[in-house]
Structure 1
Amino acid sequence: MGLSPSAEAIQAMSAVELTGAIRTKQLSAREALDAQLQQISAVNSRINAVVTLDPEGAHALATAADQRTAAAGDAAADSLPPLHGLPMTHKDTHNTRGMRTTQGSVLFRDFVPDADDLIIARLKAAGAVTTGKSNVPEFAAGSHTFNDVFGTTTNPYAPELSAGGSSGGAAAALGARIQAISDGSDMGGSLRIPASFCNVVGFRPSAGAVPTWPSPDLWSWLARSGPMAREVADIALMLTAVAGPRPGPEVLPSIPPETFAQPLERDLTGLKIAWTPDFGLGIPVDKQVLGVLEAQLGIFEQLGASVEQACPDLRDADLVFRNVRALEFVHSLGDLVRDHAELIKPEIRWNVEQGRALTGQDIADTAAARTRLALKVHEFFGGYDVLLAPAAQVLPFDAGLRYPETINGEALPTYLDWMRSACVISATGLPALSMPAGFSVDGLPVGLQMVMNHGEDFQLLQVAAAFEQATGYARRAPALTAGDGVGVS
């Protein structure tokens, strides 16, 4: 092995670069891990992204990875798994065997699961080195990451502001160069909004592409597991490890993992792109956010695509999202709210109450609305290839707030209303991502939401990769000052 890269160089590397260097013995898994732990020690006390850390267990895994590299030899390096030796923390809502997994709830403060969720099992099988857990809002409810167990996660680009949520710890860890990829999940924007806030990529896949398992409902479609990274190629790499059918009956369509190993390069000439600033619903979006995003539309035209303002008819999307979300909250959290209401935050109790209040007629109306919405989306994608929209309605906000209550002076009735830019797309079921798309005048990240038709997950990554290559916004790292301790327990 020659001269190894510095810790700073390792921290800046992509997952593709890291795994390639480990596979070819330019870098050891232990060196990659030590660089991650060094960065956690330097910056985590400022942003509180990583909340559980197991350096001894991680060193054992990294040592085993290096032994496997040596045993494989140069001729068999390609036989090593896709994430071989890559250190990463996992979202604290994903059960991780033998490691405290709290859901951000005092009820699970000391819970240590005896089995991995499917996405974690697949990451481990692909060679990832588990190092700890990243912070989440309580039970992943809401797009701002704070809880009574670990406190608030803040933004690496402005540590007094929100990192978004619910995959806020994951996004902050990526933005702060703690790790190259993260696992996350998204019901109403939990991958896309923190990605927008932290200048990374958050990808919400098609239903069934990355199975959410275990689940109390095989047919559940609103919540998705998915990847986050600083680069689109790393999203594709992670999907080669976590995509594919779930065990047991396959009731949602899957995408073969090898789909994401294809080349990302694509000519956008002739692509028909629609842009909507307000989703055709008058959804309020901060004027600075719109200014940044509208300045990017010309990039797609330079790449050969046509862009015009248009949007599918999303008038049924709010009803579908809110009612399906409320029912899923009853399904997953109803018993806990019944038995431990005083230990659960008011936004969750409200959502469960909304679900319990739904009548049979409400559920029938929701099914009819979802059908109308699906037909309108199908009609729209008969004329357009891609929909562009704001990923988040606001810039990163004061981390001391529970959620924004106004946008452009307009009052927001509930804690979900500032997330509608993501929620209405969730209701369509379409694959969507947030892509780094520039910065406000104060240097705050802004994400562009990209949406394509059902099952076109890989094609969506190709479009995002073309925009990434033309702009390079994700390469702008935060000037995060080193803190004075690891800030984890």
Structure 2
Amino acid sequence: MDILDMGAVAQSEALAAGSLTAVALMEASLARIEAVNGAVNAVVSLREREALLAEARAADVTPRRGWLHGIPMAIKDLSDAKGLPTTMGSPLFTGTVAQKDSVFVGRLRAAGAIFIGKTNTPEFGLGSHTFNPVHGATCNPYDLSKSAGGSSGGAAAALACGMVSVADGSDMMGSLRNPAGWNNVYGMRPSWGTVPGEPEGDMFLHQLATSGPMARSPRDLAALLDTMTGADPRQPFGISPAATLPQIDGQGPQVRIGWLGDWGGAFPYAEGIAALSEAALGQFADLGHVVSDIAAPFNAEKMWEAWITLRSFAVASGLGAIFENEAKRGHLKEAAQWEIRRGLEMTAMQVQRASVIRSDWYRRAAALFDTVDVLVLPSAQLWPFAVEEVHPVEIAGRSMDTYHRWMQVVVPAGLIGLPVVNVPAGFGENGLPGGLQLIGRHGSDAMLLRVAQHWHEATRWPQKRPPALG
């Protein structure tokens, strides 16, 4: 087996056994990047070859620091890795070099990862399509004329191409679920509070976004999540598991799966999305899981209004100072300016009402999980679109009234911080991949990983149909 086709855990085991060297793995990774990254544009700010090989040589002769010892990783360009640029896809931050690691990045470094560069992202992570004026667009490796999704599009495409074996992503509005689905890999949005953010600014009000792992198998997701997870004593709300995640194997639990369909007609789907999802659900049933249809459990429009209120409130909090600087405002893309303006114009009571709706939905979802173990929705409502498009303006004849309405299907889990594992669901007649969101109650991360690994052992989509590049 090509060492780049191995999973991260398998690479780690080979490195520990001495059957693989960090130098050989680095050389192979850099060769793959050289061969395909020019077309895909997933890895950006790549470090110099000789510096990376020097780190790999050092890894080969020093005691192992952790399971990631000697494994190349590229960090999403929204997070800080000391010594590497953090542009966030914005010309306002071109040339900005991180002076420290983000909290979870420091944990990856401590486990022995070698950071080779960054993965591409939309400007400030806004929009589920990875393009920006600093690094350009990331193309889908299954069709270079299509989007890789976003905002973790660079990470997902790099994984699909074998440039890295494991990657970090982040997710507010499907930012690692959508690109995982569109690139035939796995992505996990963990229960909110599992992976800490940064101990800066407000740490109480904005409970929407989280970082999480991406990989070509749930086994690797679990290993990376185990490294990223754990409360930071400088921050509230963190979850510190009493033990590491249980061993993930192919003997997953038999669970009750609830298919939410199109949420009672609220979510338009492009032709083929529902069919792909339902075919995958049939496979879940064949594996012994109990699959049933679930009627729309909550008013989708009320949920959407709560979502865009809280999202704009959060975006304005993070980017408001840039917007209010007239010299810098023009460097923000139109979608960012729209979000910030909405957030700045909100009253406190508008935010309160949105949070009450969010609370109502959480209570309803908690009751729903008394009858099912896993809720399922597609990862996206349409197939990867043309890379030149800014965002879709309609789905199945229904107009989209915002730049992100086309991703409404990811809101139910994201709004209330539920854990989600995206699993590859196969390919449409157009040859493009799609995925499913496996959604669990808060804290059920390990159960979702077991179910996903059971699925993986039966399907192995990333290994069965990798992209044909080079």
The reply to whether TM is greater than 0.5 is yes
Partner Cα distance (2:465, 2:91) in 1? 34
Q: How does 1:235-274 map to 2 (within 5 A)?
A: 235-256=221-242, 258-269=243-254, 271-274=255-258
1:225 alignment counterpart: 211
2:371 alignment counterpart: 383
Could you state the TM-score of these two structures normalised by the residue count of structure 1?
Answer: 0.92
Deviation string, structure 1 residues 209-265 (Cα, Å, up to 9, x no partner): 111124422223200001100111000110121111113244233335x43252344
Shift of 1:353: 1.0
Q: How does 1:137-152 map to 2 (within 5 A)?
A: 137-152=122-137
For the Cα contact (< 8 Å) 2:208–2:416, is it kept in 1? no
Partner Cα distance (1:86, 1:21) in 2? 11
For the Cα contact (< 8 Å) 2:40–2:139, is it kept in 1? yes
For the Cα contact (< 8 Å) 2:262–2:269, is it kept in 1? yes
2:309 alignment counterpart: 323
1:15 alignment counterpart: 8
Shift of 1:281: 5.4
- Residues 63 and 441 of structure 1: CA distance in aligned 2, closer, same or farther (over 3 Å): same
Instruction: Report the count of equivalent residues.
Output: 464
For the Cα contact (< 8 Å) 1:317–1:428, is it kept in 2? no
- Is the counterpart of residue 124 in structure 1 residue 117 in structure 2? no
For the Cα contact (< 8 Å) 1:50–1:169, is it kept in 2? yes
Shift of 1:368: 1.5
- Is the counterpart of residue 456 in structure 1 residue 444 in structure 2? yes
Three-state SS of the structure 2 residue aligned to 1:144 is coil
The equivalent position to 1:353 in structure 2, one of 315, 337, 341, is 341
1:154 alignment counterpart: 139
Give the residue type in structure 1 aligned to 2:320: G
Partner Cα distance (1:476, 1:106) in 2? 39
Deviation string, structure 1 residues 58-95 (Cα, Å, up to 9, x no partner): 22221221012xxx5xxxxxx65111111111101111
Deviation string, structure 1 residues 173-230 (Cα, Å, up to 9, x no partner): 0011111111110000100000011001110001111111244222232000011001
Q: Report percent identity of matched pairs.
A: 38
Partner Cα distance (1:444, 1:275) in 2? 22
Give the residue type in structure 1 aligned to 2:282: G
Three-state SS of the structure 1 residue aligned to 2:424 is strand
- Is the counterpart of residue 362 in structure 1 residue 350 in structure 2? yes
Partner Cα distance (1:336, 1:354) in 2? 15
2:51 alignment counterpart: 57
For the Cα contact (< 8 Å) 1:268–1:303, is it kept in 2? no
1:446 alignment counterpart: 434
2:27 alignment counterpart: 34
For the Cα contact (< 8 Å) 1:210–1:254, is it kept in 2? no
- Residues 114 and 135 of structure 1: CA distance in aligned 2, closer, same or farther (over 3 Å): same
Partner Cα distance (1:58, 1:48) in 2? 20
For the Cα contact (< 8 Å) 2:379–2:435, is it kept in 1? yes
Which consecutive residues of structure 1, in runs of 5 or more, have no partner in the other structure? 73-78, 483-489
For the Cα contact (< 8 Å) 1:314–1:424, is it kept in 2? no
Shift of 1:56: 3.1
- Is the counterpart of residue 178 in structure 1 residue 163 in structure 2? yes
- Residues 66 and 351 of structure 1: CA distance in aligned 2, closer, same or farther (over 3 Å): same
- Residues 193 and 263 of structure 1: CA distance in aligned 2, closer, same or farther (over 3 Å): closer
Three-state SS of the structure 1 residue aligned to 2:116 is strand
After superposing the two structures, state which structure 1 stretch, 279-288 or 113-122, moved more.
Answer: 279-288
Shift of 1:267: 4.1
Give the residue type in structure 2 aligned to 1:59: L
1:286 alignment counterpart: 270
The equivalent position to 2:36 in structure 1, one of 29, 39, 43, is 43
Partner Cα distance (2:78, 2:50) in 1? 22
2:61 alignment counterpart: 67
- Residues 481 and 301 of structure 1: CA distance in aligned 2, closer, same or farther (over 3 Å): closer
State the Cα RMSD in Å.
1.5
Could you state the TM-score of these two structures normalised by the residue count of structure 2?
Answer: 0.96
The equivalent position to 2:186 in structure 1, one of 198, 201, 205, is 201
Deviation string, structure 1 residues 348-399 (Cα, Å, up to 9, x no partner): 0000111112112212211211221111111111111100111111111100
Deviation string, structure 1 residues 76-135 (Cα, Å, up to 9, x no partner): xxx651111111111011111111110000000110011110111111001111101111
1:421 alignment counterpart: 409
Give the residue type in structure 1 aligned to 2:225: L
Which consecutive residues of structure 2, in runs of 5 or more, have no partner in the other structure? none
1:393 alignment counterpart: 381
Deviation string, structure 1 residues 35-76 (Cα, Å, up to 9, x no partner): 1100000000111101111133322221221012xxx5xxxx
- Residues 285 and 342 of structure 1: CA distance in aligned 2, closer, same or farther (over 3 Å): same
Partner Cα distance (2:420, 2:15) in 1? 31
Shift of 1:31: 0.7
Three-state SS of the structure 1 residue aligned to 2:14 is helix
The equivalent position to 2:94 in structure 1, one of 109, 117, 128, is 109
Give the residue type in structure 1 aligned to 2:68: L
Give the residue type in structure 2 aligned to 1:15: A
Shift of 1:312: 3.2
Three-state SS of the structure 1 residue aligned to 2:66 is coil
Partner Cα distance (1:323, 1:481) in 2? 42
For the Cα contact (< 8 Å) 1:377–1:428, is it kept in 2? no
